[in-house]
Structure 1
Amino acid sequence: MADNDDKEDGAAAAAAPKKSKKKLIIMAAAALLLVGGGGATWFFFFRGHGEEAHAEIAAPKAPIFLDVPEVLVNLVGAPGERIQYLKVKVVLEVKEEKQVETIKPTMPRVSDIFQTYMRELRPADLTGSAGLFRLKEELTRRVNVVVAPGQVNAVLFKEIVIQ
């Protein structure tokens, strides 16, 4: 019987370390998972939100405006209709002062492209706010072609008269 007791005690002793190793591996994996999860949380959510994030944010620069000479053109009409005229004062909006210096030498081309485009307009093309919006978008597109590689943000109307 003593032999049986020794065998049982040996089997219990051998089984106990196997269980404790399994528990140890599970606890180590859980700890590793917690540490990894905490590190990932810090990396994705809190990293970079320290002192650098509290630095003062620079105020956005005010845009620069460049006047274009006044444009006066006659609109295309049907034969026998009264001739109508379009008078437009336009301002170009740019981001930086150095862009103004690159656009100024091309101002005769800008005036020319405006004149040639607007001479082909009909009074019906300018009706309502949608017509003026299309005119503004087309002038912006054309002026950007002329001043390339410079960039004009927008063409703004100061005055529009259809007579």
Structure 2
Amino acid sequence: MAAEADIESGEVAAPEKKKLPVMLIAMVAAVVVLLGGGAGAYFMFFSAPAEDQHIAALPETFIFNLPTMTVNLRGEGEREQFMKLTVALEVANEEVMEEIQPRMAKVVDAFQVYLRELRKSDLEGSAGIYRLKEELRRRVNIAIFPAQVESILFKEILVQ
């Protein structure tokens, strides 16, 4: 009778849409979170870090310290300007260090001649320091040939 009353009143009951149970959605979300967390934990704890692999592959280098140098910079009618520079040479092995030792006078001379020709403006910014580093490396490699220096390391640069 109730169904008849709805029909008689002109109201037709629409069929209800099937909804996914909230519990099923929660379970799927939980599985996704657990799988993501498990994968993250696996990569974090069981895979070897890339840094450790690269560190093991790096060859050991040696540092050869040069004496501190103080030079006059080339000025253009200005007051005198000085540069104080402490440099270390990075070499591949101890044999290269032993080859450099008797040629230290040549290395210091090459540095002094080059540094005295610089102006303060030549040393401004990171590009100026990079050019200085590369030029010093080139000059020391010429002075100690056939031995080679891997890189120049600045310990102190002071321009007044």
TM-score (norm 1): 0.62
Letter in 2 for 1:93: E
CA distance in structure 1 between the aligned counterparts of 2:109 and 2:139, rounded to whole angstroms: 11
Q: Aligned residue for 1:124?
A: 121
CA distance in structure 2 between the aligned counterparts of 1:96 and 1:76, rounded to whole angstroms: 36
Letter in 2 for 1:142: R
Unaligned runs of 5+ residues in structure 1 are: 1-57
Q: State the 1:129 CA deviation.
A: 0.5
CA distance in structure 1 between the aligned counterparts of 2:58 and 2:75, rounded to whole angstroms: 45
CA distance in structure 2 between the aligned counterparts of 1:122 and 1:60, rounded to whole angstroms: 37
CA distance in structure 1 between the aligned counterparts of 2:124 and 2:57, rounded to whole angstroms: 39
Letter in 1 for 2:89: L
Letter in 1 for 2:79: R
Q: Aligned residue for 1:65?
A: 63
Question: Is structure 2 residue 102 aligned with structure 1 residue 105?
Answer: yes
Letter in 2 for 1:157: F
Q: State the 1:60 CA deviation.
A: 3.5
Unaligned runs of 5+ residues in structure 2 are: 1-55
**Secondary structure of the corresponding residue to residue 130 of structure 1:** helix
Q: Aligned residue for 2:35?
A: none
Q: In angstroms, what is the RMSD of aligned CA positions? A: 1.1
TM-score (norm 2): 0.64
CA distance in structure 2 between the aligned counterparts of 1:62 and 1:158, rounded to whole angstroms: 20
Residues 89-144 of structure 1: CA deviation (Å, up to 9, x unaligned): 00000011111001111011101100010000000000001000000000000100
Residues 69-91 of structure 1: CA deviation (Å, up to 9, x unaligned): 11100111112x11110000000
Q: Aligned residue for 1:156?
A: 153
CA distance in structure 1 between the aligned counterparts of 2:84 and 2:64, rounded to whole angstroms: 18
Q: Aligned residue for 2:140?
A: 143
> Structure 1 runs of 4+ off > 2 angstroms?
58-61
Letter in 1 for 2:150: N
